[in-house]
Amino acid sequence: MKKILLAYNPVSGHAAFKNQLDDVIENLQRRGVLLSVYRTQADDNSSFVDCVKSSGAEGVLAAGGDGTLHAVINWLKRNDLDLPVGVIGSGTSNDFAAHLGLDAEKTFDAVAAGRTRPVDLGLANGAEYFINVASAGVFTSIAHEVDSRLKNFLGKSAYYLRGLGELTNFKAVPLDVEADGQKFSVEAFLFLVLNSPSVAGFKKISDAAQIDDGKLDLIALKKCSPRSLMTLAKKILAGGCVDGDENILTLQAATLTISTSAALTSDLDGEAGAPLPLKVETLRRAIKFFA
């Protein structure tokens, strides 16, 4: 039988995945897959690598949100474990899985068939990997400030409700950007460095972003009037992409360096990252993903 390690986050989303665990085991076992289980910890996950090695796993499934997938990929890459990864979305935000159009059944089928596709990874400041998005500016701290009970109850709406309360505090900051050697300066409320076009629950922020093209896509929201900001927000909420909008700076590059005189901390896949300056590099097709 194929051996897979399931790393599940017991508090992701509605903290209900533990009630689905038997169904997951049954579904994979029926497909000829033997599952080992690792329960992620809030503080120390040093035993994860030993669990992977001792289980003889041929791949790892992450059950949780984008943050859980982020953690699993970092644990694997930092320990030179070249294993395919998949995700069972059970968190508040599951943007990468949404972009791939993966539900649990499709993921189970891909795991059983050993069907994978290579995808790019981002590397921030040479130290931390991200699979979907790196960001900084207004809104980026919200994911870390929203109470976990509120997230579990309201889902993504918790972020949006908190964000609405921050509208009057929007402040643009000066950004200096170097993209594959070219330099740009802009005053912006926030920036996103995308691997996939799916972010914050919106499936198509940009038409340009691709997960296997060897490049990352910078989207910076320029300083603009409240009226322009609301118009752009309506466009995004309606599912539109921001490419070509006069209030958006878009760049595509294999390597981006973003610095500012302001005190900004980055966010990587919804998890707190390092303070700026931020250098992000594209690692082309650096990991295989069950899909």
Q: List per-residue pLDDT tens for the chain, 291 residues long.
A: 999 999 999 887 667 788 889 999 999 999 999 999 999 998 899 999 999 999 999 999 999 888 899 999 999 999 999 999 999 987 556 788 888 888 889 999 999 999 999 999 999 999 999 999 999 987 665 554 544 443 444 344 344 444 444 555 678 999 999 999 999 999 999 999 999 998 877 778 898 899 999 999 999 999 998 888 888 888 887 878 898 999 999 999 999 999 999 999 999 998 899 999 999 999 999 999 999
Q: Residues, the chain, total? A: 291
- Candidates 44, 128, 117; CA nearest to 85 is 117
What pLDDT shows up at residue 59?
A: 98
- Partners of residue 148 on adjacent β-strands: none
List, by residue number, the catalytic residues.
271
Pairing of strands 133-137, 216-222: unpaired
Q: What are phi and psi of 14, to 5 degrees?
A: -90, 15
Domain 2-114 class in CATH: alpha beta
Task: Please tell me the distance from the alpha carbon of residue 86 to that of residue 288, in angstroms, as a whole number.
Answer: 9
**pLDDT value at residue 154:** 36
Q: Which helix (H) or strand (E) holds 21?
A: helix 21-30
pTM of the model: 0.88
Q: Which two tokens stand for residue 60?
A: 């790892």
Tell me if the domain spanning 128-282 has CATH number 2.60.200.40.
yes
Which stretches within 155-280 are classed as H helix? 157-164, 226-237
Q: Where are the domains of the chain?
A: 2-114, 128-282
| pLDDT value for 155 | 44
User: Which parts of 39-94 fold into alpha helices (H)?
Assistant: 48-55, 66-78
Q: Which of 126, 15, 139, 147 is nearest to 68 (CA)?
A: 15
